[in-house]
Amino acid sequence: MMEVTARHISFLQLSWTTFQSVLIVFIIAVSGFLSAYAGILPKEGQKIVSMLNVSLLTPCLIFSKLARSLSFGTLIQLYVVPIFYTALVSTSYFSASLVSKILKLDGDETNFVIGTSVFPNSNSLPVSLMMSLAYSLPQLKWPELPNDSGDNIASRGVLYLIIFQQIDQTLRWSWGLNKLLRWSTEIELSIEDTMEQNADRLLTRGSEDEANNLTKVGSKLRYHWNNLLSCMNGPLYSIMFSILVASIRPLQEQLFESNGFLKNTLTSAIDQMADVSIPLILVVLGANLCPSSTTPLGTHNRKRIVLASIISRMILPALILLPLLAFTVKKLRKSILTDPVFILVSFLLTASPPAIQLTQLTQLNEFFEFEIVNVLFWTYVVMTLPVTILMVTIALRVMDWASQ
């Protein structure tokens, strides 16, 4: 009888904690909605704010989290996280492709569904939830660690999410921005322009004899180099610089550990700008939900796009991947697979709603902006609370089953 009561209390605590985490997101988004409704944050202003966030605040957020905690030793020990990320992205990609084919979506619509499926929210919502659950669920203590505490649980959860997030950020700001969440005609025109420019460079060099094999090789190298530079942006540069700082241990100590000049000035400034990034994204999200005279009316095809995105992100990957994950945890009792925090993080990410930052990518490319708002509305406002409670409950049951 006491065991049933304890489980009942834990479930109520879990529901309340999850509700509070989602409510934080909702309150900040409502402030953005009211700002847009009052005319303080019009459509053009939203794009400017998104560009500021992409170019300055989001790179600060990435550097603040990644460079502080990253080390090559940590990366070696956490090899399971990239493996799980690959499995999740592959499953989400397969799910999105299958659902898009069934609903007969065209190429751009399919790319949009894939984009919303392969990029889950691995930052604001999961981090906030883990920080709360770490101190309220004793089931998350790792038996292999003596004297495991809420602080240690929270640190491990954030670390797993950071590693996952930075891999995801790299793919999101390259493949997502330049391919998935961009009109295919723009991509084709960009390739044609680049090829024409390279051809013009060859012609202006002189006669045809001068365009020898060495010149052709050089032209191809410049072509690929220009394509690489076109994919680079603030977040990707921030990831690269974070890895560089983490590889230089004395510099990492000066920036984040010792109470010196760099930590009290440069690092503090970056941390303050990083703290603004997530709230500002939520404000823009809420502003996007505000109807305007330019907002198109919903059509049957748009409804299919939204439906496909929801199924492909929060339903189908969970049905496919979670049984495999549970079986793996049961059979391979080694490494971080025995850590209840990793199991919980994996379950949460598998059914997590799409990343809020996708609004930035779609705004920058003016790509299905109305549809992404609808996808985020349904996934965050309607589905996140019950799905998150379900995922955490199932994760706790899998932990008990795997430990038997």
Which burial class, exposed, middle or buried, applies to 224 when counting CB atoms under 10 A from its CB (0-12, 13-18, 19+)?
exposed
Most confident of 12-21, 90-99, 355-364: 90-99
Q: What average pLDDT score do residues 31-35 get?
A: 92
3-class secondary structure for the chain?
CHHHHHHHHHHHHHHHHHHHHHHHHHHHHHHHHHHHHCCCCCHHHHHHHHHHHHHHHHHHHHHHHHHHHCCHHHHHHCCHHHHHHHHHHHHHHHHHHHHHHHCCCCHHHHHHHHHHHHCECCCHHHHHHHHHHCCCCHHHCCCCCCCCCHHHHHHHHHHHHHHHHHHHHHHHHHHHHHHHCCCHHHHHHHHHHHHHHHHHHHHCCCCHHHCCHHHHHHHHHHHHHHHHHHHCCHHHHHHHHHHHHHHCHHHHHHHHCCCCHHHHHHHHHHHHHHHHHHHHHHHHHHHHCCCCCCCCCCCHHHHHHHHHHHHHHHHHHHHHHHHHHHHHHHHCCCHHHHCHHHHHHHHHHHCCCECCCHHHHHHHHCCCHHHHHHHHHHHHHHHHHHHHHHHHHHHHHHHHHHHC
* Token pair recorded at residue 59: 């790179």
CB 322, CB 348: distance < 8 Å: no
- pLDDT at residue 6, rounded to an integer: 38
Domains, the chain, with CATH or none: 10-403 (1.20.1530)
**Terminal Cα distance for the chain, rounded:** 21
pLDDT of 323 reads 94
The arithmetic mean of pLDDT across residues 278-292, rounded, is 78
How far, in Å, CA of 45 to CA of 375, rounded?
Answer: 22
What confidence category does residue 331 fall into, taking pLDDT thresholds of 50, 70 and 90?
confident
pLDDT score of 101? 95
pLDDT score of 243: 82
**Res 310 pLDDT > 90:** yes
pLDDT, tens digit, 9 for 90 and up, residues 41-55: 988 888 888 888 878
CA distance 362 to 180: 10
Locate 188 and state its tokens: 């084709």
Higher pLDDT, 310 or 186: 310
Cα–Cα distance for residue pair 312/94, rounded to 1 Å: 9
Return the pLDDT at 196.
55
% the chain with pLDDT above 70: 81
For residues 138 and 154, give the distance between their C-alpha atoms in angstroms, rounded to a whole number. 12
Residue 280 · residue 49 · CB < 8 Å: yes
The Cα-based distances of 335 to 152, 282, 317, 342 in angstroms read: 17, 36, 24, 10
pLDDT of res. 25: 77
Contact 31, 286 (CB under 8 A): yes
Could you tell me the two tokens for 355? 């990343």
State the pLDDT at residue 291: 67
Confidence of residue 148 (pLDDT cuts 50, 70, 90): confident
Say how far apart CA 333 and CA 402 lie, in whole Å: 8
The whole-number average pLDDT for the span 110-125 is 90
Token pair belonging to 388 = 């998150």
Q: Per-residue pLDDT tens for 3-16?
A: 333 344 456 776 77
Q: What is the largest CA-CA distance in the chain?
A: 91
Q: In the beta sheet, which residues pair with residue 354? A: 120
Residue-wise pLDDT for 150-208, tens only, equals 877 887 887 788 788 878 988 998 899 888 999 987 665 655 555 555 555 545 554 44
Copy the structure tokens of residue 185.
């005609």
* The predicted structure's pLDDT at residue 87: 95
pLDDT in tens, 225-248: 666 665 567 777 887 888 888 888
Above 50 in pLDDT, residue 123?
A: yes
Q: With 90 as the cut, is the pLDDT of residue 349 above it?
A: yes
pLDDT at 108: 92
Mean pLDDT computed over every residue of the chain: 81
Q: List the structure tokens of 381.
A: 């406002």
For residue 238, the model assigns a pLDDT of: 83
